[in-house]
Amino acid sequence: MAIKNWKERELFMDFSSMYDNNNHPSDIDLFYIGKDKAGRDVLIVGEIKYNGNLIKKGQRHLLEHFAEQYKGTAIILYITHNADVHRGETRVDVAQCRVEEYYYKVEGKRGRWVYPKEPLTVRDVIDTYRVER
Extents of the domains making up the chain = 27-93+107-118
pLDDT at 1 (0 to 100): 46
Least confident of 21-30, 39-48, 71-80, 81-90: 21-30
With a pLDDT cut of 90, the percent of the chain lying above it is 50
pLDDT at 11 (0 to 100): 66
Q: What is the CA radius of gyration of the chain?
A: 16
Q: Compute the average pLDDT of residues 114-130.
A: 90
Give dist(CA 121, CA 69) in Å, integer. Answer: 25
Please check whether residue 81 is in contact with residue 48, taking contact to mean a CB–CB distance below 8 angstroms.
Answer: yes
pLDDT at 77 (0 to 100): 97
Give the total residue count for the chain: 133
Give dist(CA 93, CA 30) in Å, integer. Answer: 12
Helices (DSSP H) in 13-79: which residue ranges? 57-69
